[in-house]
Amino acid sequence: MLLFIIIFNLVITCINCYLVLKLWKLYNSLKKITHDLIHLEEQINELFSLVPDVILRGQQGMAGLRQFYQKFLIQLGMVQKVFRNLKLLLKVWYRLDNGFL
């Protein structure tokens, strides 16, 4: 009976040693994953810390572009009026030249 208890305890000890090794490997793997995730979080934080400045510059650029576009539309309207007047002037001149008026 004593031999059975000794062998049984040795088997339990071997199983426990095996479990300890597996848990130690799992612990090291989790420690590495934790380190990698912390490093990734720091990199993402550095990247996103620049985003507000980029958005602000983009908004300022868009506002400048809108102002430029509004000025362009005004100038385009003026040029269209000049061309309409030139076209009308050419029609009148052509008719005067041909004696229709």
Confidence of residue 101 (pLDDT cuts 50, 70, 90): low
pLDDT at 23: 97
pLDDT at 98: 75
pLDDT at 35: 97
Please report the beta strands in 11-59, taking only residues with DSSP state E, as ranges in sequence order.
none
Q: What average pLDDT does range 59-83 have in this prediction?
A: 95
pLDDT at 51: 85
3-class secondary-structure state, position 1: coil
In the chain the first and final C-alpha atoms are separated, in Å, by 137
Q: What are phi and psi of 100, to 5 degrees?
A: -85, -20
Q: What is the mean pLDDT of the chain?
A: 92
- Compute the distance between CA of residue 70 and CA of residue 32 in angstroms, rounded to an integer: 57
Amino acid letter, residue 66: R
pLDDT at 30: 97
**Does 53 or 70 have the greater pLDDT score?**
70
- Compute the distance between CA of residue 39 and CA of residue 50 in angstroms, rounded to an integer: 18
Confidence of residue 52 (pLDDT cuts 50, 70, 90): confident
Residue labelled with tokens 């430029």:
68
